[in-house]
A and B are shown apart, each in its own frame.
Chain A
Amino acid sequence: MAKRRFIQAINDAMFEEMERDPRIILFGEDVEISMFGDTKGLRDHFGPDRVRDTPICEALLTGMAVGMAAAGWRPVLHMMFSNFMYTGFDAIANQMSKLHLMTGGQMKLPITVMAGFGGGRSTAAQHSDCPYPLFMNLGGINVAVPSNAGDAKGLFKTAVRSNDPAIFLEPGGRGGELGEVPDGEHLVSFGKAAIRREGRDVTIVAIGAMVKLADQAAKALAANGVEAEIIDPRTLVPLDEETILASIAKTRRLVIVDEARDRCSAASQIAAVAADRGFGLLKAPVKRVTVPNVCMPYAPVLERSVYPSSERIVSTVLALVSNQEAI
């Protein structure tokens, strides 16, 4: 085990994978200097053919990733902030997610599209979205949302080795956070949730940066005699439904923490799975701790009022276990 920062772990994964496979190409805006640090040093090491700054033209870049992959390369496209994926959404939604099926399986698309996402840092509405519900709905694209340095490395490696497109989202502002990264070759499979904490009273499914908040909440709850189990799905597509259902079977209560806007969030999907496949296991309604259906305001006091917090998780859980109607 080594202590690495979140962003270093991704950077390590990139170095190791690009070294291993000469067909991996990294491109995007300012990847050479690296705004977040995740692509730092790659240009010097691998040269301009394999690591390349692009003009600002997201609509073209996502299409280019498809063309490069169809022509036998393994592109990694860095989109900087996930909001800019909307500018490049056409080729993601109309080409990348569909062409494997549309060509009858002829076109393999080993593409990784990466970006930072999420709020909490006063970056305001156009730099703090949480777009994974859109990608989850496309089909044909895997969606990885690491919550810690070790998973970031392992999930990134799985993404670039896969022959299918993957969206890899790094929780924004978490780059400096230290975490344990296993030594040697470290891969994390897609579709395998992690149980971050065991508990008997309530299951908290928390996504990405929400795992840390859930962990803080679990400590506060324990002080109140409530033992929470925390599940980190790690990938939203594929989603490890079995691990979530097994946990509900034990705790019989489910709270989902997601920093997407509430409507049609990943939390909505997980709640639907629980209702559909776990109805008989539940003894309380499923609750979602999400961002309400507003876009992220700028002022820290406003942002805090809508962003999920450990306090909100705690009060939601306490209301559930005391059998009151939760917020």
Chain B
Amino acid sequence: MRNDYQNPSQETLLAMYERMLVIRETEEYLGAQFRAGELPAGVHLYIGQEASGVGICAHLSDEDWITSTHRGHGHFLAKGGDPYAMIAEIHAKADGVCGGFGGTMHVADLSRGILGANGIVGGGLGIATGAAFAAKLDGKGKVAACFFGDGAANQGTLMEAMNVASLWKLPLLLVCEHNGWSEFTRSEVATSGNILDRAQPFGIPAQEVDGNDVGAVWRVAGEMIEAMRNDGGPGLLLTHTYRTRGHVEAEINFLSQSYRSEEEVASWEARDPLDRAVALLAETGMATEEILVVRERVKTLIDAAAARAQAAPDPDPALVKSMMFSEVDAW
């Protein structure tokens, strides 16, 4: 039976809006913490791109896998990762989801199929292809989604991944989140042609979508993922979006000049994915008060997680040596 991906129900929309809020609240907090000198390293915020990760991950369960990028907080939370465990990780605390060994660019939770954010641009392509092969071998209709940026699309492993995934009919959803920039290089000067067209010679179906419209992302991703679960092979989904914050938080402190106009940023802020989700909810007849309740709930949740994370203990340096291998004592 095919599902109807035309219209997400009010319940689905609200759940997605709440996830987006969790990401936004968490990242606003993390940005402020970094600016206040409270984090050991800079953070790459996903602010402005939340609809892309949330609209896609809404179709995934803990049994499915994702790989993510240096801009990975949003994917982690969208896939159901625990905000407290992630905030504690970024605060470099023992309670962190990786025990303080990974940090902001490496949040991972294998129990939820989150194979990790990645500091190597394009690093998730091979891992996700391997997970998709695993999914195929498992034979239970699982899928692997690989999030990567428009900059990462210029890594050669994208071609390798498309070739293998198409040849072996792997349930691999390649999600290119096109925010127009790789660091401080505009996409137009780094990328030839249209990334979407790169799938065509491999016979891979490709779709593009307004990545700031969570309803639209949810619809397109839903159809693609369902096809994959039915042994449909890979797909490429290009989500057009924008990071309204810097490549890395507080980048102005080290950049000698700005690289984009205020108008450009403002034009995308006017298309903020959270505001648009609120508008979608209003269309379904949801009252403003109900939306405010959700907002309060998320704020309380993240405030509590943040306070707890700040108070959590540091990791124990004695653990470092034992962490390179899982079985080192066995020899």
Contact = CB atoms under 8 A, between A and B. Distances in A.
Given A104-B101, A163-B326, A64 B96 contact: no
A100 B324 contact: yes
3 cross-chain pairs, A with B, having the tightest CB-CB distances, nearest first: A63-B126, A67-B130, A104-B99
A103 B116 contact: yes
Q: Which of B110, B111, B120, B160 has the most CB of A within 10 A?
A: B160
A140 B324 CA distance: 5
Contacts of B298: none
Interface of A: 25, 49, 54-55, 57, 59-73, 75, 90-91, 94-95, 99-109, 139-140, 142, 162-164, 189-192, 238
Given A163-B326, A238-B331, A70 B163 contact: no
Nearest to A88: B126
Nearest to B118: A95
A67 B133 contact: yes
Given A60-B160, A189-B331, A66 B324 contact: no
Interface in B235-283: none
A67 B136 CA distance: 13
Given A67-B65, A103-B102, A164-B328, 19 more contacts: A49-B137, A63-B129, A63-B157, A64-B127, A67-B115, A67-B133, A70-B127, A95-B127, A100-B323, A104-B97, A104-B98, A105-B99, A105-B326, A106-B110, A106-B111, A108-B326, A162-B327, A191-B331, A238-B331
B281 to A, nearest CB: 36
Contacts of B306: none
B144 interface: yes
A32 to B, nearest CB: 14
Q: Which of A49, A99, A109 has the most CB of B within 10 A?
A: A99
A105 B322 CA distance: 9
Contacts of B115: 67, 70-71, 107
B126 A59 contact: yes
B32 to A, nearest CB: 26
Contacts, number: 154
Nearest to B136: A49
A70 B131 contact: yes
Contact of A57 (B100, B106, B130, B160): B160
Nearest to A240: B331
Contact of A106 (B98, B129, B327): B98
A67 B97 contact: no
B129 to A, nearest CB: 5
B161 A60 contact: yes
A194 B144 CA distance: 44
Interface in B112-167: 115-116, 118-120, 123, 125-135, 137-138, 144, 156-157, 160-161, 163-164, 167
A238 B330 CA distance: 11
B109 interface: yes
A61 B133 CA distance: 11
Nearest to B126: A63
A67 B127 CA distance: 4
Contact of B126 (A25, A64, A99, A189): A64
A273 B240 CA distance: 55
A192 B65 CA distance: 38
B52 interface: no
A95 B102 CA distance: 12
Given A68-B134, A140-B325, A60 B331 contact: no
B148 to A, nearest CB: 12
A49 B135 CA distance: 12
15 contacts: A57-B163, A57-B164, A63-B130, A64-B130, A67-B129, A67-B144, A68-B130, A71-B65, A71-B130, A71-B134, A95-B123, A99-B108, A101-B324, A105-B323, A107-B108
A55 B108 contact: no
A99 B116 contact: yes
B164 A103 contact: no
Contacts of B323: 100-101, 104-105
